Amino acid sequence: MANISYENASCIYENSDSLAVDSLNLNIEDGEFVVLVGPSGSGKSTALRMLAGLEDIDEGHIRIGGKDMVGVPSKDRDIAMVFQNYALYPNKTVGENMGFALKMRGVSADVRKKKVEEAAKLLDLTQFLDRKPAKLSGGQRQRVAMGRAIVREPQVFCMDEPLSNLDAKLRVQTRTQIAALQRKLGTTTVYVTHDQVEAMTMGDRVAVLKLGQLQQFASPTELYDRP
């Protein structure tokens, strides 16, 4: 079970005098797709990075499946992260990019190949497996970044503005694909965006942040009814 709970979780940056994330309380259910939305500087990325172990949980707790993440290094959390810049290895092929994390974990070449092929099929990337990222379009690169996350079969996906480098049309297409894929896999997902339409169309529930604090946490329908 990969339910997530933020319990009065706070983060403060060393050179700052205000909390980037201020006593955040959120209960995310196993398999849920939760979007963190809010203006720039509202603490979305920080809240996500605290979950992924990329920023400290300075106060409070974050639990995944009941297990406290305070002090647990990023590599020991069963989380795959998808970033807006994709961070693909330019000298590796699409297949190698997708399988790299498994290789590092000592997964055999046979199993890696099988998992990469399955993910490529889900993401419509089969024909690109032997190409280098530079030969792909932005949308295809974005799917490779997704593929790299899903081959690991993590407990949790953390996505930080994964569509912000795509043009408007592709963004609409891709958000539908990501939402459909998440529902198929059933992996608990926390997704950061500043785009309200993206939040309302993709999330099972949407957490609205402002100045590091939670303003609202509700389904899109509920948010439309009481904006």
Q: Which residues bind ligand ADP (CB under 6 A)?
A: 13, 15-16, 20, 38, 40-46, 161
Shortest distance, position 211 Cβ to ligand ADP, whole Å:
8
Q: Residues for the chain: how many in total?
A: 227
Closer to ligand ADP by Cβ: residue 99 or 212: 212
Shortest distance, position 194 Cβ to ligand ADP, whole Å:
7
Shortest distance, position 78 Cβ to ligand ADP, whole Å:
23
Shortest distance, position 23 Cβ to ligand ADP, whole Å:
14
> How deeply is 80 buried, as exposed, middle or buried, from its count of CB atoms within 10 A (0-12, 13-18, 19+)?
buried
Distance of alpha carbon 92 from alpha carbon 97, whole angstroms: 6
Closer to ligand ADP by Cβ: residue 13 or 89: 13
Residue 27 near residue 61, CB atoms below 8 Å: no
Contacts of 60 (CB under 8 A, 6+ apart): 6, 7, 8, 9, 10, 23, 24
Closer to ligand ADP by Cβ: residue 81 or 181: 81
- Which amino acid type is present at position 95? G
Shortest distance, position 100 Cβ to ligand ADP, whole Å:
23
Tokens 């100045």 sit on residue: 211
Closer to ligand ADP by Cβ: residue 32 or 161: 161
Contacts of 91 (CB under 8 A, 6+ apart): 132
Angle at 199 between CA 197 and CA 202, to 5 degrees: 100
Shortest distance, position 165 Cβ to ligand ADP, whole Å:
12
Distance of alpha carbon 98 from alpha carbon 129, whole angstroms: 9
Closer to ligand ADP by Cβ: residue 18 or 127: 18
